[in-house]
């Protein structure tokens, strides 16, 4: 999919793409990869260490991947969770809105969000949407006529919340995380309005540079802090 921003972002043969333009010249955008997926900093990184895990296959949601590819995505995410925790010394939150309705998506390539955060997204959803624990992402709904939300919380528990394709108003997970994380301004969730370019660049540096054992504590980030 040559016109897909995420396909371009994870393709090492692409020299110039939307994501690369937010980074310093020469900064690498692919921070980890395996046969089935790659991790890149996200445009709109309202917290340091905010990554997207992107499958190599262009699909609307991770649940549309065959099992071997989905296991590859999950394996990379596990490795990244360990690395993120070691670097930022905070619990790691992962989530995906597996929206299988192309017309409702701003980005038509399924991806998993990962970031150091204390936001209790799972608890917020549990009070509003029926969900159930699953052992792996291979157990999410796999039909194209339904959608789902997954949250791997800070304890490592993976919960799936089935939702209809045409749910309205649609739950905006980035907005919820911004509201639930006390470091982040509520309005910072919209990546188009607030790309947080400096935090994207800092994330690349944090994850590609050997750091001393003692790290500075995370700062408080607002919309105006890094633009």
Give the strands of the sheet with 132-133, arranged side by side: 32-33, 37-41, 51-55, 112-116, 92-98, 147-152, 158-163, 132-133
- Taking residues 88-106, report their average pLDDT: 89
Q: What total of structural domains would you count in the chain?
A: 1
User: What mean pLDDT, rounded, does the chain reach?
Assistant: 90
Selected residue with higher pLDDT from 224 and 49? 49
- Taking residues 91-101, report their average pLDDT: 94
> What's the pLDDT score for residue 220?
37
Q: Does 49 map to a domain?
A: yes
Residue 218 has pLDDT above 50, yes or no: no
Q: Does 227 map to a domain?
A: no
Residue 1 has pLDDT above 60, yes or no: no
Q: Does 21 map to a domain?
A: yes
Could you tell me which of 148, 144, 110, 142 has the C-alpha nearest to residue 4?
110
Query: pLDDT tens across 142-156, in order?
Result: 988 889 999 999 999
Selected residue with higher pLDDT from 222 and 192? 192
Q: How much is the pTM?
A: 0.90
Sign of CA dihedral 21, 25, 29, 30: positive
State the Cα angle at 100 between 15 and 47, rounded to 5°. 55
106: which 2 tokens?
A: 């701003």
> What's the pLDDT score for residue 166?
84
**CA 8 centroid distance within chain:** 17
Query: pLDDT tens across 37-78, in order?
Result: 999 999 999 999 999 999 999 999 999 999 999 999 999 999
Question: Which residues fall within 8 angstroms of residue 153, CB to CB, at 6 or more apart?
Answer: 93, 120, 121, 122, 159
> What's the pLDDT score for residue 105?
72
Provide the 3-class DSSP secondary structure of residue 40.
strand
- Taking residues 94-102, report their average pLDDT: 91
- Taking residues 192-202, report their average pLDDT: 95
- What CATH number does the domain containing 108 carry? 3.30.428.10
Q: How many residues does the chain have?
A: 227
Q: Does 192 map to a domain?
A: yes
State what percent of residues in the chain have pLDDT above 70. 90
Query: pLDDT tens across 117-142, in order?
Result: 999 999 999 999 999 999 999 999 99
Q: Does 219 map to a domain?
A: no
Sign of CA dihedral 130, 163, 76, 43: negative
Q: Does 179 map to a domain?
A: yes
Give the residue numbers spanning the domain of 177. 5-208
> What's the pLDDT score for residue 211?
52
Query: pLDDT tens across 5-25, in order?
Result: 999 999 999 999 999 999 999
Q: Does 200 map to a domain?
A: yes
Q: Does 12 map to a domain?
A: yes
């Amino acid at each position: 999919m040559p016109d897909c921003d995420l396909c371009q972002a994870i393709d090492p043969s692409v020299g110039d793409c939307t994501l690369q333009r937010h980074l310093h010249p020469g900064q690498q955008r692919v921070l980890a990869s395996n046969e089935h997926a790659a991790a890149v900093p996200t445009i709109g990184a309202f917290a340091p260490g905010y990554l997207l895990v992107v499958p190599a296959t262009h699909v609307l949601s991770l649940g549309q991947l065959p099992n071997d590819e989905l296991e590859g995505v999950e394996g990379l995410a596990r490795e990244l969770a360990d690395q993120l925790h070691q670097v930022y010394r905070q619990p790691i939150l992962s989530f995906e809105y597996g929206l299988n309705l192309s017309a409702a998506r701003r980005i038509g390539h399924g991806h998993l969000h990962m970031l150091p955060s204390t936001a209790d997204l799972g608890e917020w959803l549990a009070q509003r949407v029926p969900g159930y624990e699953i052992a792996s992402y291979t157990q999410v709904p796999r039909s194209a006529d339904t959608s789902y939300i997954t949250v791997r919380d800070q304890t490592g528990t993976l919960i799936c919340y089935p939702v209809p394709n045409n749910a309205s108003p649609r739950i905006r997970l980035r907005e919820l995380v911004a509201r639930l994380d006390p470091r982040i301004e509520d309005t910072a969730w919209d990546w188009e309005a607030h790309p947080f370019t400096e935090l994207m660049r800092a994330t690349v540096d944090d994850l590609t540079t050997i750091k001393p054992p003692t790290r500075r504590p995370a700062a408080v980030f607002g919309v105006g802090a890094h633009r």
